Amino acid sequence: MSMLLVATVAIGVVFFGLTDPRDLPVGLLMVPVLLVFIAGFLFASLFMKLFFLSTPSTKHRTISIVFAVGLTLILLFQSSGGIVLGDILLLGLLMLISYIYINKF
């Protein structure tokens, strides 16, 4: 898991180092978003496995997905012109509702 995280971060560093967002085709603009989601998921999953050993793996996966989606949405909000406290509160509420919904059903 940690090697996959290191590989994802390395791919992200190479991608961000070699490309200019103004010259990318529209399809390739999704690559940074996907890299942030994958890196966020792997980081949260590794964190959960290291520090919360007693919780089941399905909860690890759920929390990791909610964290990665929140991180990705923050990136998208920031890239669209800035993020303010209201955006963060809205995303926090959305993540909380998503977590409760996923665990209830």
* Nearest C-alpha neighbor of 1 from the set 56, 47, 53, 59: 47
Cβ–Cβ under 8 Å, residues 26 and 71: no
Q: How does pLDDT run along the chain (105 residues), one tens digit per residue?
A: 678 888 988 988 898 888 887 888 888 888 888 999 999 999 998 888 888 777 777 888 888 888 898 888 888 888 777 788 888 888 889 888 888 887 776
pTM, entire model: 0.79
- pLDDT at 78 (0 to 100): 80
39 class by beta-carbon count within 10 Å (0-12 exposed, 13-18 middle, 19+ buried): buried
Alpha-carbon distance of 77 to 82, in angstroms, equals 6
- pLDDT at 56 (0 to 100): 78
- pLDDT at 105 (0 to 100): 62
- pLDDT at 39 (0 to 100): 92
- pLDDT at 3 (0 to 100): 87
